Structure 1
Amino acid sequence: MSYYSDTSSVDDELESLRWYHFDLSRHAAEAILLSNGKDGSYLLRNSHRGPGSFALSVRASDSVKHFHVTRNSTGYAFGFNEFASLKDFVHHFANQPLLGSETGTLIVLKFPYPWRVEEPSIYESVRVHTVMQAGRTESDLVASAPSLGTKEGYLIKLGAFVKNWKQRWFTLNRNELKYFKDKTFDEPIRTLDLTACSAIQFDYSQDKVNCFCLVFPERTFYLCAKTGVEADEWIRIIRWKLSQMKKTR
C-alpha cells in the first residue's frame, strides 16, 4: 500500500502544517507576505485547478512568486521532482534554491508563515499574523512573538482647525495608523505613530455617537465609527498594541 493510498493520512498531514492556509486567495497571499513576511517567507494554499492541486507562495525580496504543487498517489510533484511528504519538500528546498523567475531570482524556503496564532480574546474578530524568527522548518515558529494586527475601514474624523467631521479611510498595520482621503488613494493624508500615543478610549464629549479618541502629545484625535461594535474593535486592537509596546520598552 502506497504512502498516499490512505486519504485520511494526507488530510492529517495537511492539517498538521501550520503554514497551510486552505482557501487563501492568490491576492490575499501576496498581501500577507508583502505586509508581514520577509525574504524567504512561504505558505501553502489550495489551487483553483482543483482537488490535489496546491500553490506554494514564496516572498522573494519585494515580490511574491507562486509555484504549482500537485498531489498524486505517491506523494507531491513539483516540476520534475517528487516528494513523499510536504515536509520532505520543504526540507529539500531549504537548501536547494527555487528558480523564482525568468530573471533568475533564487529563492530559499526559510520562514514558514503560520495561518493561525493564539491571541487574547479581544483579537477574535481581527485578522492577526505573527512574527517569525530565522529558521527552516515549522518548528522555528515563535508562538510568543509580538503579533502584527491589521485593520482597515472608514471612520469620520474631527478636523484640527475647522471643527467639521469628514469621512476618511483608515488602515492599521504594525505601529502605524494611517488615514487617506478615500479608499482609492495610495498616499495617506497622515501617518500616526502609535509609539507616541499615550491613550485611547471612548469619548462622550462630542455630539455624535460611537466616538473615541487617541491622545498624542501634540494633539488628541477624535474619531467616530458607524457602530458601537466597530468603535470597540478599533479601541481594543489599538489598546492591545499600546500595552505590548509598553512591555518592550
Structure 2
Amino acid sequence: MAQRRELLERELVALGWYHGNLTRHAAEALLLSNGKDGSYLLRKSNEREDLYSLSVRGKDSVKHFHVEHTGTSFKFGFNEFSSLKELVMHFANQPLIGSETGTLIVLKHPYPWQVEEPSIYESVRVHTAMQTGRTESDLVPNAPSLGTKEGYLIKQGKIVKSWKTRWFTLHRYELKYFKDQTATEPIRALDLTECSAVQFDYSQERVNCFCLVFPLRTYYLCAKTGIEADEWIKILRWKLSQIRKQLEEHNATLSS
C-alpha cells in the first residue's frame, strides 16, 4: 500500500503542475497574484487521503474541484480516467468545466510547481525583527513570479507617431498588447525570440521610455514611473538572456 502511494506521488510530481500539500488559501493567493484567467493546479485535499483538489482561476476568483483516486482510476465529475496521462490529455483536449454556479471555466495554463525566477530583487539595507507570536504555520508561502508581468504602457504608433495607452502582458517568451485590460484578443503578439535588444530610450520627448529592437521594427514604450520602466526592462532582458542560454545549450548539443 505504501509502495503504491509512493508510486502515485511520483506520477503526480511528474505532471509538473501538482503542488502537493499546498493549502486552499495559498493556492488562491498563488493563482490570483501570479496566474491568469484559465490557470490551474492540482493539490492534495485536506478532506480525505484519496481526494485531490483542482484549483482553477476564473477572471477574479478561484474555484476548487475534487479529483478522486479510487486506487485504479481517477474520478473527475462524471468522468473516470484510468491514468494520470489520460487525465492530462482530457484537460488538454476538453478544457472546460461547468461549476455549480453555472460558471464555465476554461483550463488554459497549467501552473508549474517549479519555476526559474528572474532575479529582480531589492537588496535589504536594514532588517528589524519584531516578535509577533505567530508561527511558521500561520504564514502563507510566497508565490513564485513565473517571470510574468502585465500592466499599462504608452506605445508609439508605427506609421502615425501618436502615443496610445495599451495593456501589455508578458508570458513565457511572448509580449502581447491589447486595446485595454478588458479586451480578449490582442492587437499584436511579439515573439521575444526575434528581439535583439531591450534598452532605455532617451530619443523621445516623453520620460520613462524604453525600446524593443526587432529586425523590422523598433517598438517605443513609456511607463508611468522610472521604477516601472526599470522593472519591465529587467524582466525583458532576463527573458532574452534565457533565450540566448537555451540557444547556446541547443547549439552545444548539436555540435557534441
Residue 57 (1) aligns with residue 91 (2): no
SS, match of residue 122 in structure 1: coil
Unaligned stretches of 5+ residues in structure 2: 1-18, 57-61, 89-109, 123-141, 248-256
| Alignment equivalent of 1:178, drawn from 176, 179, 188 | 176
User: Partners in 1 of 2:151 and 2:199 — Cα distance?
Assistant: 18
Please report how far the alpha carbon of residue 101 of structure 1 lies from its aligned counterpart in structure 2 after TM superposition.
1.6
2:159 match: 161
Deviations 1:191-227 (A, max 9, x none): 1000000000111110011100000000000000001
Deviations 1:146-179 (A, max 9, x none): xxx2111000000111011000000011111000
Q: Percent identity?
A: 55
User: Partners in 2 of 1:220 and 1:94 — Cα distance?
Assistant: 56
Unaligned stretches of 5+ residues in structure 1: 1-16, 48-53, 69-77, 80-92, 130-148
SS, match of residue 128 in structure 1: coil
User: Partners in 2 of 1:220 and 1:20 — Cα distance?
Assistant: 43
2:225 match: 227
User: Partners in 1 of 2:35 and 2:118 — Cα distance?
Assistant: 24
User: Partners in 2 of 1:227 and 1:185 — Cα distance?
Assistant: 24
SS, match of residue 179 in structure 1: strand
Please give the TM-score of this superposition, normalised by the length of structure 2.
Answer: 0.56
2:145 match: 128
1:43 match: 43
Amino acid at match of 2:43: L
Please give the TM-score of this superposition, normalised by the length of structure 1.
Answer: 0.58
1:139 match: none
Amino acid at match of 1:20: L
User: Partners in 1 of 2:186 and 2:214 — Cα distance?
Assistant: 19
User: Does the 8 A contact of 2:27 with 2:55 survive in 1?
Assistant: no
| Alignment equivalent of 1:106, drawn from 67, 81, 88 | 81
| Alignment equivalent of 1:23, drawn from 26, 51, 61 | 26
User: Partners in 2 of 1:27 and 1:120 — Cα distance?
Assistant: 17
- Number of aligned residue pairs: give it: 177
Please report how far the alpha carbon of residue 122 of structure 1 lies from its aligned counterpart in structure 2 after TM superposition.
1.4
SS, match of residue 25 in structure 1: helix
User: Does the 8 A contact of 1:168 with 1:182 survive in 2?
Assistant: yes
User: Where do residues 169-248 of structure 1 align in structure 2 (5 Å cutoff)?
Assistant: 169-248=167-246
Please report how far the alpha carbon of residue 127 of structure 1 lies from its aligned counterpart in structure 2 after TM superposition.
5.1
Please report how far the alpha carbon of residue 45 of structure 1 lies from its aligned counterpart in structure 2 after TM superposition.
8.2
Aligned CA distance change for structure 1 residues 43 and 237 (closer, same or farther; 3 Å): farther
Task: Tell me the C-alpha RMSD between the 2 structures.
Answer: 4.0
Deviations 1:18-57 (A, max 9, x none): 651543329937946945x7xxx5235899xxxxxx9722
User: Does the 8 A contact of 1:177 with 1:192 survive in 2?
Assistant: yes
User: Partners in 1 of 2:212 and 2:181 — Cα distance?
Assistant: 22
Aligned CA distance change for structure 1 residues 234 and 55 (closer, same or farther; 3 Å): farther
More helix by share: 2
Aligned CA distance change for structure 1 residues 33 and 248 (closer, same or farther; 3 Å): farther
User: Partners in 1 of 2:46 and 2:227 — Cα distance?
Assistant: 33
